[in-house]
Structure 1
Amino acid sequence: MVSDERVPDWWRGLGLPGLIDLHVHFLPERMERRVWEHFNRGGPLMGGGWGIVYEWPVERRVERLRAMGVRTFPALAYAHKPDMARDLNAWTLDFARRTPGCLPSATFYPEPGVVGYVRRALEDGARIFKVHLQVGGFDPRAAELDEVWGLLAEAGVPVVVHASSVPVPSGFLGAEPIGGVLRRHPALRVVIAHLGMPEYGPFFELAARYERVALDTTMAFTDFSERGMPFPARLLPALRDLGLAGKVVLGSDFPTIPYPYAHQLEALARLGLGDAWLRAVCWDNGSAMV
Structure 2
Amino acid sequence: MNEADGAYVTGFRERLGLPGIVDIHTHFMPEQVMRKVWEYFDSAGPLIGDREWPITYRDEEQVRLKTLRGFGVQAFTSLVYPHKPDMAAWLNEWAADFAARTPDCLHTATFFPEHGADSYVEAALEAGARIFKVHIQVGDFHPGDPLLTKVWGQLEDARIPIIIHCGSGPAAGEFTGPEPIAALLRRFPRLRLIIAHMGAPEYTEFLNIAQGYDGVMFDTTMTFTDFFESADPFPAAEHERLRYFGDRILFGSDFPNIPYAYGHALYALERLDLGDDWLRQVCHDNAARIFGLG
Aligned to 1:145: 148
What's the secondary structure of 1:146's corresponding residue?
Answer: helix
Whole-angstrom distance in 1 between the partners of 2:214 and 2:50: 38
Amino acid at match of 1:275: D
Residue in 1 that maps onto 2:60: 57
Q: Distance in 1 between matches of 2:129 and 2:11?
A: 32
SS of 1:228's partner is coil
Q: 1:207-247, CA deviations, whole angstroms, 9 ceiling, x for partnerless residues?
A: 2210010010000010111111111000000011101xx21
Q: What is aligned with 1:18?
A: 20
CA shift for structure 1 position 2: 5.3
User: Structure 2: 5+ residue runs without aligned partners?
Assistant: none
| Number of positions where the alignment pairs a residue of Structure 1 with one of Structure 2 | 288
TM-score by length of 2: 0.95
| TM-score (norm: length of structure 1) | 0.97
Deviations 1:250-285 (A, max 9, x none): 011000000011000000000000000000000111
Quote how far apart the aligned CAs of 1:48 are. 4.1
More divergent stretch after superposition (1-10 vs 258-267): 1-10
Structure 1 unpaired stretches of 5+: none
- The sequence identity of aligned pairs, in percent, is 50
Corresponding position of 1:211? 214
Runs of 4 or more, structure 1, over 6 Å off, are: none
Q: Aligned pair in 2 of structure 1 residues 271, 134: CA closer, same or farther (>3 Å)? A: same
Aligned to 2:71: 68
Query: RMSD in angstroms over aligned alpha carbons?
Result: 1.3
Question: What is the rounded CA distance, in whole Å, between the counterparts of 2:51 and 2:285 in structure 1?
Answer: 37
SS at match of 2:267: helix
For 1:13, the aligned partner's letter is R
Following superposition of structure 1 onto structure 2, how do residues 22-171 of structure 1 map, counting pairs within 5 Å?
A: 22-43=24-45, 46-171=49-174
Whether contact under 8 Å (1:218, 1:251) holds in the other structure is yes
Q: Is 1:8 the equivalent of 2:18?
A: no
TM-aligned CA deviation for residue 178 of structure 1: 1.5
The CA deviation at 1:49 is 2.3
Matched with 1:181 is 184
In structure 1, what is the equivalent of residue 248 of structure 2? Answer: 247
Quick one: distance in 1 between partners of 2:144 and 2:66? Answer: 39
Give the Cα separation in 1 of the matches to 2:100 and 2:148: 27
SS in 1 for 2:103: coil
Cα separation, 2, equivalents of 1:149 and 1:4: 40
Q: Structure 2 CA distance, aligned partners of 1:203 and 1:21?
A: 21
